[in-house]
């Protein structure tokens, strides 16, 4: 503990000395050399108490690994969940606007995403609730042009808010 206290006191003292020398030294290349030498002296002065006999610094008794690792994993998982949720919302909005722009009256679009082994977004499925089931093929065509190997689920939206499954297709990835 005395070694740490000595190092801190030395660092404070050397900081004061370097500030005074910085103010008093002339502005030219001599100042740069003086500050370099003062920096080396400060470094040696701070390290010296730790190099004394009997000083031993050991982190063996402190277990940092498990607590840091578990907190990192939980942060990674929560970040991944937030990222996937936000990406799904963006995909939902994109397909909703695409379908409505092409006169396919859509009540709701729900996309399911996942992160693959390379941490890239992968579209797993697209679920569409359309008002007019006769537009099913047009909707499928638009979605297929934007995706590949994605499960496309087309539902008919009913007036009471429930939906009935009317079409389901899974494409094989090529």
Give 138-159 pLDDT, tens digit per residue.
888 888 888 887 888 988 887 6
- pLDDT-based confidence at 170, cuts 50/70/90? very low
Domain boundaries, the chain: 2-51, 79-170
Position 61 scores a pLDDT of: 54
The values of phi and psi at residue 57, to 5°, are -115, 120
Is 50 or 61 the better-scoring residue by pLDDT?
A: 50
Tokens of 30: 């001599």
pLDDT, the chain, mean: 77
Query: Could you tell me the pTM of the whole model?
Result: 0.49
Q: What is the mean pLDDT of residues 100-107?
A: 88
Top CATH class, 79-170: alpha beta
Is 107 or 33 the better-scoring residue by pLDDT?
A: 107
Tokens of 160: 């009471």
- Which of 60-74, 97-111, 158-172 is the least confident region? 158-172
- Asked if 155 contacts 130 with a C-beta cutoff of 8 angstroms, the reply is yes
**Does residue 46 register a pLDDT over 70?**
yes
**Does residue 47 register a pLDDT over 60?**
yes
Place of tokens 């900081």: 15
CA distance 94 to 111: 10
CA angle 109, 137, 105 (to 5 degrees): 45
- Which of 4-8, 83-87, 126-130, 170-174 is the least confident region? 170-174
- pLDDT-based confidence at 88, cuts 50/70/90? very high
Q: What percent of the chain has pLDDT over 90?
A: 11
Q: What is the mean pLDDT of residues 10-24?
A: 81
């Amino acid at each position: 503990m005395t070694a740490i206290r000595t190092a801190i006191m030395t660092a404070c003292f050397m900081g004061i000395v370097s500030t005074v020398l910085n103010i008093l030294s002339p502005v030219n290349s001599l100042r740069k050399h003086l500050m370099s030498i003062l920096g080396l002296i400060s470094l040696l002065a701070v390290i010296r108490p730790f190099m004394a006999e009997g000083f031993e610094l050991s982190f063996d008794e402190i277990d940092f690994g498990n607590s840091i690792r578990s907190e990192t994993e939980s942060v990674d998982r929560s970040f991944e969940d937030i990222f996937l949720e936000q990406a799904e919302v963006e995909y939902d909005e994109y397909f909703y606007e695409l379908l409505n722009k092409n006169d396919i009256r859509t009540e709701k679009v729900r996309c399911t995403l996942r992160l693959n082994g390379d941490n890239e977004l992968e579209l797993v499925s697209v679920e569409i609730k359309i008002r007019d089931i006769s537009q099913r093929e047009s909707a499928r065509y638009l979605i297929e042009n934007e995706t590949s190997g994605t499960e496309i689920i087309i539902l008919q939206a009913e007036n009471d808010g429930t939906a009935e499954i009317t079409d389901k297709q899974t494409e094989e990835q090529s």
